[in-house]
Structure 1
Amino acid sequence: MKNTLFPIFLKTETSRFLIVGGGKVGLEKTQTLLKQNPDVLITVVSPEINPELRSIILLNENIELLEREFITEDLNEVDFIIIATANTALNRGIREQAKQKGVLVNAADQPALCDFYLGSIVNKGSLKIAFSTNGKSPVLARRLREYFEQVIPDEVDTSINQLNKLRNAHAGDFSDKLKTLNKITAPLAVNNKAPGTNKKLITTASLLFMVFIVGYSVSALLSGRELLHLVSGVPSSFYIMLAVGFVAQLVDGALGMGYGIMCSTMMMLFGVNLPVISSSIHTAEVFSSAVSGYTHYKFGNVNKRLLLWLAIPGVSGAVAGALLLIYVGNTYATLAYITVAIYTFSIGLRLIYLALKNVNAKSKIKKVGFLGFTGGFMDSFAGGGWGPIVTSTLLAKGRKMNFVVGTVSLSEFFVTFAAAVTFFASLGITHWTTLAGIIIGGTIAAPFAARLSGKLPRKIALLLVATLVITFSIRILLKLL
C-alpha cells in the first residue's frame, strides 16, 4: 500500500477537540493533547469516566466534561473529533455524522475510520518530531519516539534559538546565509575518535584481566598433573554457581540489577567469607559486565554523558567499599554477615517498591555523582547493589528502561574492574571453582540478557528477584541469630 500521508503541524491554540469515550484510551488521548499544549480546548463526552481522567479534567479549566452519551449536537463548533470507544458500530455512526458536518475524525485502533493519525511525538523545546507508521504499528512509532528522546540532547533548543538569532541578524540572501551556517557548523563534521575505540578498550582490558587471572591460578596454584586431576573431578559447587551466574546475569543484563545481590546471598548460604564473596563476584562481573556493556553499546542503549557521571564516582566508591570490607570482614566476620544480610533484605524491599511504583513523569536527577559513589561503595562492601541502587533510582526518575539498563551495565564494568583489582591485590584468588562457575555462567548469559533489555515484564521480573533476595537474606539471618 502506498503511503499517501502528508505530515502537518497544527496550531492547537485555534482548534477545538472532541473526545468521545472516557476510558483508558480517552485518558491517553487527553494526555497526548495536553502534553503538546496544556491550554488546548477539549470536550470529553462519555457516560462513564476513568478516575484518573476525571482528576485531569478537574485540574484543567480548558477541558469540558459532558457525562452522558454522544449526541449529534456535540459536533457543533468542533474542529476535530477523537473516537475512543470500543463499540465499532457506534464509532462508524459517529464518523458518518462528523463527515456530514466536515469534522475530521481519528478513531483509536481503527485506521479505516481515520482522517488523520496522532503520531508519536518527540518534544525538545522548539524542535518537534512526529513518527507515524500509517496506522499499522503504533508500538514501533512509540519505540522510535523513545529512542530519539534519549539521543537528541535537551541543549538542541539552545542551538535552535542561536541559529534563529543568526538568521534574523544576517543581512545577506539565502545563499549567503547558507554559507555562513556551513562555516559555523563545519567543526561538527570533523572526524572524532572512532566509535569502536571504547569498545576495543573495554574488550582488551577484560581479556587481559582474564589472561592474568587464569595464568596466575595455573602457574601458582596447580601443576599439570593436579590440573588434569582437578578437571576430572570438578566439584558440584562449580555447576551450582554456573547456574547461579547464568540466571543472575540474565536478570541483571535485562533489568540492570540483581547480579551481585543474587550471587552474594547464595554464597553466604554456602558459608563463604564475605571478602571472598565480594572479590569473586566482582572478578566474575569484570567479564560478564564487559560483554553486557559492549552489547548494550552496540545496540545503542548507552547515554555517554550519564556514563561518565556514574562511572568515575562509582570507581572511587568501589575501591573505598572494598578496602572497608577487607578490614571488617576479617576482624568482625559475624557482625559483617548480619549487616550485609540486613542490607540485602532492604534491597529486596526496595525492588518490591520499585515493581509496584508507577513511574509516569520524567524528573531531574540530582547528585548523579553521589549516586554513583554510593552504588559503587555498597556494591563492593555487600557484594552487590550497584543495579538495585543506581538502576532503581534512574527508573524512579522516569528514565527509559533500555537506556538506563545499557548505561548502568557499561558503567558497571569500570566499577567492578576497580573493585576486583582492589580485592585481588589484598586477597589473591581463592574458591576458584566458585569463581569459574559464575564467570562462565554470567559470560554466556550476557549477550542474551542485553537483547532482553526492556522486553521482559518489568513488574514480574522485579518481584521474582525481590522474593529470592528476601528469602535468602532471611535464611542467613535465621542461621546467624
Structure 2
Amino acid sequence: MGEKFPEIQGGGSLILAWQVRNKKVLVIGGGEVAAGRILNLLNADAKVVLISPRDGLNSEVAHRIERKQVEYYDRKFEPSDLDDPAITMVLTAIDEPDASTQIWKLCKEKRIAANIADVPPECDFYFGSVHRDGPLQIMVSTNGNGPKMANIVRRRIAANLPPNIGDAIAKVGALRRKLRVVAPGTEEGPKRMQWMSKVCLKWSLEDLCEMEEQDMDELLQSYAPDQIPSLSQVRLGEEPGTWQFDGSFGWACVV
C-alpha cells in the first residue's frame, strides 16, 4: 500500500503514431493550412484525395497536383464524397465555418475520424508541431491551446538534439532488422530487446553513425553469448569471449 503511482492529469490527448501508409485520406480545401496537412500525409505515404476549387489553391498545393502526388477534384465538397468506404480520415481546411461543421457532422454519422482546422471541438485528433530527422519524429502538442507555442517548444527541443541523431537511429534500425534474421523466434524477443538496449547504452552516438554493414554483421556475433563489444573491438576482430559489457555508457535511446 506504500507504493506511489503517477497522478492522473486529465485534459490531455492520447498521442499516437497513426500509420496511414497506402490508406486513403480526404483533404478538403487547398490553402496554406491544406498544404501543410498534405505534406504531412505524403511524408506518411498516405493516398491523398484533394477536393478544392482551383481558384483557391495555394502554390504548394498546385505543385502537388501538377506532380500528381495527390488525386485532385476541382470542385467544392459534396456529401457523396464520404461514401467511399476506403476513406480513413477527413481533414478540412476551408474558410467556411458552417460548411466545415456540416462536414464534421457527416463524418460523425459515418464514423470517419476528422479534423476541422482551427475548430478544436470538432476534431477527433490534433496536428502538433513536428521535428523530423530521418526516422526520428518528435511531436509537440498543446491540445489545441496554442499552436504557435507548440512550434516554439518544438524548435527549442530540436536545437538541443545532436545533429546526427537521425543517422544514428537509422543505423540502429538496420541492426535491429538484421538481429531479427539472426534470432527470429518470438521467444527471443526479451533477449533481443535487452541486447539492443545494451548496444544503445554502450555505443556512442558517433559510433552508431559510423557503424557500417560489415560492423553490424561482426557485432551480431556477440548476440548469442550476450556480450557487447566496442566498435574498435568489432573492427579488430577480437573473439567474443574477450568482450565485456563494462558499464561505460555512451548515450541512451529507446527505439
Q: What TM-score do the two structures reach when normalised by structure 2?
A: 0.64
Quickly say closer, same or farther: Cα 1:141–1:87, change in 2 above 3 A: same
- How many angstroms apart in 2 are the aligned matches of 1:177 and 1:18? 39
Contact kept, 8 Å, 1:44 with 1:66, in 2: the verdict is: yes
- How many angstroms apart in 2 are the aligned matches of 1:119 and 1:71? 28
Write the mapping of 1:273-352 to structure 2, written as runs, cut at 5 A.
none
Quickly say closer, same or farther: Cα 1:32–1:183, change in 2 above 3 A: closer
**Equivalent residue, structure 1, for 2:11:** 3
2:109 counterpart of 1:100: yes
**Which residue among 43, 49, 52 is the counterpart of 1:43?**
49
Write the mapping of 1:14-413 to structure 2, written as runs, cut at 5 A.
14-34=22-42, 36-37=43-44, 39-47=45-53, 48-52=55-59, 53-59=61-67, 61-75=68-82, 76=84, 77-164=86-173, 167=176, 168=179, 173=191, 174-175=193-194, 177-179=196-198, 181-184=200-203, 186-188=248-250
Contact kept, 8 Å, 2:201 with 2:249, in 1: the verdict is: no
- How many angstroms apart in 2 are the aligned matches of 1:101 and 1:90? 17
Q: Percent identity?
A: 25
- SS class of match (2:87): coil
Quickly say closer, same or farther: Cα 1:68–1:152, change in 2 above 3 A: same
- How many angstroms apart in 1 are the aligned matches of 2:49 and 2:77? 11
Contact kept, 8 Å, 2:101 with 2:122, in 1: the verdict is: yes
Larger Rg over CA atoms = 1
Higher relative contact order (CA 8 A, sep 6+): 1
Quickly say closer, same or farther: Cα 1:184–1:30, change in 2 above 3 A: closer
Shift of 1:166: 5.0
Contact kept, 8 Å, 1:15 with 1:79, in 2: the verdict is: yes
* Higher helix proportion: 1
- SS class of match (1:92): helix
Shift of 1:178: 4.0
Quickly say closer, same or farther: Cα 1:67–1:151, change in 2 above 3 A: same
Shift of 1:156: 1.4
Quickly say closer, same or farther: Cα 1:19–1:175, change in 2 above 3 A: closer
- Partner letter of residue 46 of structure 1? S
Quickly say closer, same or farther: Cα 1:179–1:150, change in 2 above 3 A: closer
- How many angstroms apart in 2 are the aligned matches of 1:178 and 1:29? 35
- How many residues align? The count is 186
Contact kept, 8 Å, 1:49 with 1:67, in 2: the verdict is: no
Contact kept, 8 Å, 2:48 with 2:70, in 1: the verdict is: yes
- SS class of match (1:12): coil
* Higher strand proportion: 2
**Equivalent residue, structure 2, for 1:12:** 20
- How many angstroms apart in 2 are the aligned matches of 1:135 and 1:101? 24
Contact kept, 8 Å, 2:201 with 2:250, in 1: the verdict is: no
Quickly say closer, same or farther: Cα 1:90–1:62, change in 2 above 3 A: same
- Partner letter of residue 38 of structure 2? T
- How many angstroms apart in 1 are the aligned matches of 2:172 and 2:66? 40
Cα displacement string for residues 340-395 of structure 1 (whole angstroms, at most 9, x for unaligned residues): xxxxxxxxxxxxxxxxxxxxxxxxxxxxxxxxxxxxxxxxxxxxxxxxxxxxxxxx
Quickly say closer, same or farther: Cα 1:14–1:187, change in 2 above 3 A: same
Quickly say closer, same or farther: Cα 1:176–1:56, change in 2 above 3 A: closer
- Partner letter of residue 40 of structure 1? A
- SS class of match (2:143): coil
Contact kept, 8 Å, 2:134 with 2:170, in 1: the verdict is: no
- How many angstroms apart in 1 are the aligned matches of 2:58 and 2:136? 33
Q: What TM-score do the two structures reach when normalised by structure 1?
A: 0.35
RMSD between superposed Cα atoms in Å: 2.6
Shift of 1:51: 4.5
Contact kept, 8 Å, 1:20 with 1:70, in 2: the verdict is: yes
Quickly say closer, same or farther: Cα 1:178–1:73, change in 2 above 3 A: same
- SS class of match (1:159): helix
Shift of 1:154: 4.0
Quickly say closer, same or farther: Cα 1:98–1:188, change in 2 above 3 A: same
Shift of 1:50: 2.1
